Structure 1
Amino acid sequence: MSYKPITKGAPTTMHPQMKISPGAEALMNAERAAADWAIRHNLYVLFRSSSSSSPNPDFCSRVGPTSRCFCGCPFSEHAIKGKGKSSKCRNCAGCRRFQFIFSRPEEVGDDYLPRRRGFNVNTWRAKCRCGHSHEEHCGPRGTTACTACGCGSFDSNFLCLVCDRHWEVHDTVFETGEERLDEGLPVGSDFIPLSEAPSLQSEIFGAGQKSASPEDLLESGAISVSAYHDMIKGMDGLAVASASNGSVGMRVKPSAVRVNPKQPKGKGKAERSVKLSHITSGGTKTGRVLNRWGKTEK
């Protein structure tokens, strides 16, 4: 199987007035971080549709150190054994292996949510049709029955933006560089986001920096796991520091980021709809969830 990136109609350079939003910045940083991790370890972790008719049969998302597992913990908390095998989470009794799940509302088409005043993107979780989060569906021995209601399995109430299919018809796969080469799939620098458009890639990511990333420090033993989490707390759970190899940096250039004019400025008071939403929907309420939008019982 040969691989051809989907570039038809895509610009190769940014218009001088074209800017990307903070949410897109975080997603691009996560994709870049995942690509750099894959290149360093010669292990490519991918979120892939199980359908042969997917518009991009290679993958829907790159998986990296800050990607979220179905259990709620980051990829970095899951040990990798052998070639392409993920073991259970170090922190969760119910997690049997790493299963990628979306960690930002923009990834499921709800890009309007972060623009709501008071919305907390860090507590937002992808949901089942029953209204409960994926974390509430992570049961013992890898089962996905809901622990908060009678729902027997996790049926996503969202679709993947790349293939327009539900989460449960995807797989998290591990491939070595050699395996991908045998399949004619991109590896190395060709795996980096926007590799098919070098000019646009340079404009988005900018010049590399030589500071060590939190992942580099953690893997080298220079910092503890708790220190690692402290370092990434202020990065919105996704954006990470640049690679230490001097390559194109993981961070999107600040000049390429715009503040959406509809984005409320300052802290201020949260919108009423946000206040009434459950914390797993980016709101402030706790208690029993009544629907997929995060409404809670009074």
Structure 2
Amino acid sequence: SLKISYGSVKCASIVGDDDGGKLFTPEEYEEYKRKVLPIRLQNRLYVSWRSPTGMDCKLVGPETLCFCTHRYKQHKTDHEVIPKDRPICVPCRVSRCPCQSYHYIPLNGTQPVRCRCKHFADQHSAAPGFSCNSCSKCSGFHSCFTCACGQPTYAHETVVETKEERLAQGKPVGQDVPYAAMGGLTGFSSLAEGYMRLDNSGRGAPSAELLESPVTSTDHPFLKAFQGPSSSAQTTATRQVSHGKHSEDEDMAYFENCYQERASCYIYCLIQIHFHKRMSKKEKCRI
């Protein structure tokens, strides 16, 4: 029964790829948790793709792809001791992959962005320098693709930081969780792009002055539709409602008529379809 529970989503999220594709025995699973979870809770690394404005345009999660085309969870994300060197390297654990540290690259729809040499990111080497495998004129991957924040791709950087470093910047760190390779994810809002997040990792919450400002004619129609009506407008609306009151019987009759009209239209369409089918069969028989 423990093996079945280990195969659940929660337990698979804790172990990740550390079992090498072979299911742990109950004893191995308990030993794994005893050894790894304290380290993971204490030395979690937060990974984000940061704009020069300081906004985290992308918060990296376990399934987020690296420049080397492998996912973040396939990199070394657990450290017994956090390295003192900066930037912190998160090397890829896939055999023969030259990636020395996780490097996020955005997508243009479902495709990787192009370099200035016109080749895609996955046509470049994952080794430091990111040289192109398809041409000799490229000196290294350099994309001018514009992020939703308005800044080009080459102006962003992949940031790997500790909990303390992130707190010092006033950015959210979420709760301590036992799951593997959580990266920068701290909640459901972390799945949104930076310009859509209203916490300190994104564009931030709007000011109280903006929220309390009156709605004007230049504002979005949605705001104008939900604007509180003035006293004169409320009085007019009340009079209109009082003059336009209907009894329950009249309301029921109205809805019944609407239903009958729709039902009649539906039946008429069915008859027409059936008639055309019969006519087409007769035509085929004549031929």
Q: Does 1 or 2 have the higher relative contact order (CA < 8 Å, sep 6+)?
A: 1
Higher helix fraction (1 or 2): 2
Whether the TM-score (by the shorter chain) exceeds 0.5 is: no
Q: Calculate the TM-score normalised by the size of structure 1.
A: 0.40
Given the two structures, how large is their TM-score scaled by the length of structure 2? 0.41
